[in-house]
Amino acid sequence: MAPMTSFADLTTIAVGGPIARFVEPTSRVGVIEAVEDADSKGLPLCVIGGGSNLLVADEPFDGVVVRDARRLITVPDEAAPVEGGERIVHVNAEAGCNWDDFVAFTVEIGLEGVEGLSGIPGTVGASVVQNIGAYGQEVATSVESVEVWDRQTKQTKDIPACEMGFGYRMSMLKASMYAAPAVPAEAFFPTPRYVVLSVTFALRHSPTGTVGYGQLAKALGVEVGDRMETGAIRSAVLKVRAAKGMLEDAGRYAQPAMAGTKRAEQIAVAVKAQSAQSGSRSAQPDYDRRSCGSFFMNPILTPEAAAVLPEDAPRFDVVLPDGSAGVKTSAAWLIDHAGFHKGFRIDPESKAGLSSLHTLALTNRGGAAAADVAALAKAVQDGVEARFGVRLVPEPVVVGLNLR
């Protein structure tokens, strides 16, 4: 009998317990049926993407895990500019499509809009749940509509971008899972009420894109706001992410549980880049790649709470969901200034530690259990709260563990 699939097999941090039933539907109807079957039986349901934003307990998951095996990308419009100068091109991707495969595809056919989001692990479906963002771009700015299965009404629905409730690492899909920050909702957790089936993007036909972030501009030797070839922006983003330890381990796609989830040519590119970086003097240890990426969200505070922070703490003005003024600060800055250095471990024998390159990533140094990662996260949360009065909120979906 084949060994039982576990979350350790499916997640980028490589921890988590065995799964009672793991299914990979290959059709739109199959996805809906798998979700409906679990819901009708009252079974715990986890719809998983690339496993990059997920931390699951070590105990067995006595429910159903669904991973969409559909990865088709289609371009219903003309990919080239049409008569009259219309430059908007619509691209549809099925939810199971690897996100970086999608970015590479759009750059290759000359489209602008998501090149700054290169190298983010996960899937197209997960991208809109989380509203992924990096280097001056957010997925929200390129989404036209999202096709979902509504688990409550038992119907499919097309949600326009204006109704998606996009915010910083937030959407109405993600919001349906939580009663409060890091507090799971009673009805829909760890899978949102709305299960993504496909996403339609509105991108722009252009060989160049805007460099919208200082660190990226420095890597390219240009100014913020300058325009560069989208391929050059993508390459620079991948290099910057690699230097910060924020690329997943490309070797995971050689594992049986990950077979077929990423295009072979893009795996080859990732493996080559990883090998080159591993051979450099500043090479990151292999364990730095076994993480959930950024583990904590940047806190958004009231102006009064932000005023209590040290004078040199980063501050960025934002608008809160209710329309009032807020201030975003840096979780990485808070962690570092609370005394948690790069490579920090609770004790020298701990199998979980902060990345050697970025304090915002919690890593599996080899053989770590979910409990080890959770203990490290708790230590960081408690330390930051004691020093600054701010409770950090996990960015990943945390299942079976309490990290409030």
Candidates 52, 118, 294, 355; catalytic one: 294
Mention every residue, 6+ apart, whose C-beta is less than 8 A from residue 150: 156, 157, 193, 194
Please provide the DSSP assignment of 185-207 as one string.
-SSS-SS-SEEEEEEEEEEEE-S
Candidates 67, 169, 234, 365; catalytic one: 169
The bridge status of strand 143-150 relative to strand 361-364 is: unpaired
**Residue 294 a catalytic site member:** yes
Most distant CA atoms of the chain, gap in Å: 65
Burial of 224 (0-12, 13-18, 19+ CB in 10 A): middle
CA torsion, ordered 48, 355, 362, 60, to nearest 10 deg? 60
CB contact at 8 A, 13 and 294:
no
Element (DSSP H or E) covering residue 264: helix 264-278
DSSP 292: E
**How many Cβ atoms sit within 10 Å of the Cβ of residue 391?**
14
**Residue 169 a catalytic site member:** yes
264-278 vs 230-243: helix crossing angle, rounded to 10: 50
> Tokens at residue 223, please?
């100014």
CB contact at 8 A, 195 and 216:
no
Distance CA 365, CA 362 (A): 9
Mention every residue, 6+ apart, whose C-beta is less than 8 A from residue 83: none
Rounded-to-5 percentages of helix, strand, coil across the chain: 30, 25, 45
Closest of 8, 7, 11 to residue 65, by C-alpha: 7
**Residue 229 a catalytic site member:** no
Length of the chain: 404
Distance CA 254, CA 192 (A): 30
CB contact at 8 A, 65 and 79:
no
**Which active-site residues does the annotation give?**
169, 294, 395
